[in-house]
A and B are shown apart, each in its own frame.
Chain A
Amino acid sequence: MSADVASSHSEEAVYVYQAPVRLWHWANAGSILVLAITGYFIGSPPPAVGGEASASFLFGWIRYLHFAAAYILIIGFVFRVYWAFVGNTHARQIFLPPVWRGSFWKELFHELTWYAMIAKEPLKYSGHNPLATLTMHVMFVWGIVFMICTGLALYGEGAGMGSWQYDLFSSWIIPLFGQSQDVHSWHHLGMWLIVCFAIVHIYAAVREDIMSRQSIMSSMFSGWRTFRDGRPADDGH
């Protein structure tokens, strides 16, 4: 690997992340950060503030921020699903991992050996590698769907019977989990799933940016994937 990296810096580039996807990515990341912090405080509130109740709205603001960020997340996610239909092929990748293809699993195995430091160099992709695709599909896409559904179910309880959140979400999700308390617990646990994903996601992005054969981090700003060697990409783009 090192020989290639050192010798050929023929930086051909592919346009991967269209502007709406990049915008969504960062808005989404920001709202998740806010949701995780405020969500944690909803579960374990900060020490009590003194004075008259009318003089403070601390917990109200924490919850308000959570709900505001939640709606940004939801609208963004709905838009992102829409973009999977109208955007370029890369926009569909995390929603439809080609699990029916043998080559997907073979390459995924190769990626695992790369992470296990057995393989000498990773394959080269203009989109996501198979391991990343699968992780994003399972932990992120379904994780966020889970958070949105359980979150709206909890929100519907406050909004009350007759609200669309209650009718569409709370009315069946709460009995499905048993009772409201269980939905709280699982929504809370979902946060930790998202946190685990974020750790892996950020670590892998930094590591691949340094060690793989293509750009990672800068691509999510510019949209362009640049390569560090001139050999063809393995996902045929």
Chain B
Amino acid sequence: MTETFYEVMRRQGITRRSFLKFCSLTAASLGLGPTFAPQIAHAMETKPRIPVLWLHGLECTCCSESFIRSAHPLAKDVILSMISLDYDDTIMAAAGQQAEAIIEETIEKYDGNYILACEGNPPLNQEGMSCIIGGRPYLEQLKHAADHCKAIISWGSCASWGCVQAARPNPTQATPIHKVPGLAPKPIIKVPGCPPIAEVMTAVITYILTFERFPELDRQGRPKMFYSQRIHDKCYRRPHFDAGQFVEHFDDEGARKGYCLYKVGCKGPTTYNACSTVRWTGGLSFPIQSGHGCFGCSEDGFWDKGSFYDRLTDIHGFGIEADADKIGGTAAAVVGVAAAAHAGVSAIKRARQKGGEN
């Protein structure tokens, strides 16, 4: 039998004390309450380690970068030993033929039992030629791995929505995992963000590995525990929003006073993510705290919504790109002028008829 999570951790030099700390930490970050910590510990002590195959398509590796910087050194160590990461070309030692062989090995050995973690997405155009891994299109590798996996994690906005490589006009037809045609119908969990927050990633993966199921997902397949509220709902600048105190320019008095960034394009009110609660870099800060609006990196198609610094974003599809006020205001002005002109002509007509009468 394969080793349990706990055995692997102990072998890697993690003390029991650290292990238990990690369990309570994870329970807390999952919002599960202290009674769940022993449950997590028990699961890890008894369950065989679930292998994770971490594949990279079109991406920038920011998800991996985020992941290995999980705030708590404990979490980082534990997670890295916990998920076997049998294959992750960014952080594995092997390379070339040897590395690619590991994929096949894992697929065969754990057929139907491993988790497929996808970072990035496959391009579909030119038969997937825009992303070649080990001499073959990534698209093929992805489909093959998906055929034999148990479930799929879509890491980051690339795998979840498409992100920058899928931005208009998307020449390579980069396609998020759940939309790849012909992909085996496996359960998919989306963990969007560019990148997702490290603690969110580790918590999600811990949940899946210990409970052997996905946490509760919303309609779009995101874990509710981290994506059920908007940045805006828990933003510490919210009192300034309600007061009507806005930054107008990045160098004004309001910016110095830490007013709300709504008018300089903050997308907090339309972005589902955990930044305003979990924060970044070990809870040190998050974009809004450092004075820049959220630009909605965890939302579908955030690259295609016009400027990061406008509240009213561009609407495409009329053959023009303009925001709602420009389109609507122009339409209203045209209608208004037309009505006035029509009124003028009507008045002339009436005057003429009246004149005819006399």
Contacts and interface: CB of A to CB of B under 8 A. Distances in A.
B243 A185 contact: no
A161 B354 contact: no
B243 A117 contact: no
Given A179-B299, A185-B315, A200-B339, A44 B325 contact: yes
B56 interface: no
B241 A180 contact: no
Interface string B130-141: 000000000000
Interface string A178-205: 1111101110110111011001100100
Contact of A181 (B241, B262, B299, B349): B299
B101 interface: no
Which bucket holds chain A's interface residue count? 35 or more
B244 A203 contact: no
A117 B224 contact: no
A142 interface: no
Interface stretch (B65-73, B167-175, B228-236): B228-236
Nearest to A62: B244
B244 A45 contact: yes
Contacts of B356: 2
Nearest to B300: A179
A48 B324 contact: no
Interface string B340-351: 001101100110
A45 B324 contact: no
Contacts of A158: 233
A179 B354 CA distance: 57
Contacts of B245: 48-50, 53, 56
Interface in A148-190: 157-158, 160-161, 171-172, 175, 178-182, 184-186, 188-189
Interface in A1-58: 1-3, 6, 43-50, 53-58
A231 interface: no
A161 B224 contact: yes
Q: By DSSP majority rule, is chain A's interface helix, strand, loop, or mixed?
A: helix
B311 A2 contact: no
A211 interface: yes
B271 interface: yes
B270 interface: yes
Contacts of A172: 219
A136 to B, nearest CB: 15
A56 B313 contact: no
A192 B333 CA distance: 10
Contacts of B299: 179-181
B354 A2 contact: yes
B89 interface: no
B243 A55 contact: yes
Contacts of B313: 181, 184-185
A181 B305 contact: yes
Contacts of A210: 350
B311 A44 contact: yes
Given A46-B244, A189-B315, A211 B325 contact: no
Given A53-B239, A189-B324, A195-B328, A175 B244 contact: no
Interface in B192-233: 218-220, 224, 228-230, 233
Contacts of B342: 115, 203, 207
B242 A60 contact: yes
Interface string A129-157: 00000000000000000000000000001
Contact of B259 (A48, A57, A199): A48
A192 B327 contact: yes
A45 B350 contact: no
B128 interface: no
B292 interface: no
23 contacts: A2-B353, A43-B311, A43-B325, A47-B248, A48-B245, A50-B245, A53-B243, A56-B244, A58-B244, A115-B342, A161-B224, A161-B228, A175-B219, A175-B220, A178-B300, A179-B302, A184-B313, A192-B324, A192-B328, A192-B331, A193-B328, A196-B331, A211-B350
Interface of A: 1-3, 6, 43-50, 53-60, 62, 115, 117, 157-158, 160-161, 171-172, 175, 178-182, 184-186, 188-189, 191-193, 195-196, 199-200, 203, 207, 210-211
Shortest Cβ-Cβ A-B pairs, 10 listed: A192-B328, A58-B244, A180-B270, A188-B324, A59-B244, A60-B242, A56-B243, A203-B339, A53-B239, A53-B243
Given A44-B325, A56-B245, 7 more contacts: A2-B353, A161-B224, A180-B299, A181-B313, A184-B270, A185-B313, A203-B339
